Homo-oligomer: A and B are copies of this chain.
Amino acid sequence: MAQIQVFGHKNPDTDTVVSAIGASYLLNQQGLDTKAFAQGKPNAETQYVLDYFKVESLPIISEATSAEVVLVDHNEAAQSVDNLADVTVNHIFDHHKFNFQNATPLYITAKPWGSVATILYFELQAAQIEIPAQLAGLLLSGIISDTLLLKSPTTTDWDRQALPSLARLAGLDDVNSYGLAMLKAGTDLSTRSDQELLDGDAKSFEMGGHQFRIGQVNTVDIDDVLARQAGLETAMKAEGYEDFLFVITDILNSNSKALYLGDTPASIEAAFGKKLVNNVIDLPGVVSRKKQVVPPLEGQF
């Protein structure tokens, strides 16, 4: 039998990449024959992580070529491989809302925690499987990335417990300094085109019949990104979604502003209780798309 392919969502971020590696390790230790893949190149932050812990980047696929697959950090078909409907899902490890159907019973390990890396840490602990230093470094990077160093409101006690334990296993003395350096490595946006910025972490959602695209970028200076507004708007229009919301998040001060193009500005204003000014809406205190952006939008649509 061919190896089971393990992969995260399109536009891979750090948690999706390290979770594919972690889930593949866990399942192989439990007797399966799996291999980790990614649906795209590592972003700058993930590349920093891979370089730091001396790990090769994952081979890239856009279609599964194994009969069985394992999904990490996503469950919706829109975020998965193009031929998901043609393969059997063996296991899902995820921490998102669900929109999943299939034809056969399967394993699902879902918890509403800050990162899938946290879930995998506790699964490995429960199964009494040793976590090598390198994998511990990868998993703690997934936690740091998804929780913005435990500052995001998605952070749970499980993440707070896992991070220092993984740091000990990784032999990382100052996890805070490492985390800030890693997050900053993801915010050098000058070398990325407008379209690359938009697509870097963008996900598609269907809300009340609307095709909604929500991108997010982390920065240390929101105005730096908004200086590129004209070019970003041209690139957003070119993508052709009904609604496009591009969230620009200041990771140092835990605030966001979002650029919106679409045909329902009144719903956006109602969802966040703020006015759009020149297509920009202020989102004070917002850092989490999953917890602070998607739910109010779904409430409106």
Contacts and interface: CB of A to CB of B under 8 A. Distances in A.
A266 to B, nearest CB: 21
B104 A101 contact: no
A180 interface: no
A107 B103 contact: no
B106 A112 contact: yes
A107 B99 CA distance: 14
A132 interface: no
Contacts of A290: 105
A110 interface: yes
Interface stretch (A16-24, A78-86, A90-98, A275-283): A90-98
Contacts of A110: 105-108
A79 to B, nearest CB: 14
Contacts of A295: 103-104
Which of A101, A105, A298 has most chain B Cβ within 10 Å?
A: A105
Contacts of A100: 98-101
Interface in A278-301: 290, 295, 298
A107 B290 CA distance: 16
Which of A99, A102, A110, A298 has most chain B Cβ within 10 Å?
A: A110
A111 B103 contact: no
A126 interface: yes
A109 interface: yes
A81 to B, nearest CB: 18
Nearest to A206: B101
Given A98-B100, A100-B98, A108 B105 contact: no
A129 B107 CA distance: 23
B101 A105 contact: no
Contact of A108 (B104, B109, B298): B109
A111 B106 CA distance: 6
29 contacts: A96-B105, A97-B101, A97-B102, A97-B103, A97-B104, A97-B106, A98-B100, A98-B102, A98-B106, A98-B108, A99-B100, A100-B100, A100-B101, A103-B295, A103-B298, A104-B112, A105-B110, A105-B111, A105-B112, A105-B290, A106-B112, A107-B110, A107-B111, A107-B112, A108-B108, A108-B109, A108-B110, A109-B109, A126-B126
Given A98-B101, A107-B112, A126-B126, 7 more contacts: A95-B105, A98-B100, A103-B295, A104-B112, A104-B295, A105-B110, A109-B109
CB-CB nearest 3 A-B residue pairs: A105-B112, A108-B110, A99-B101
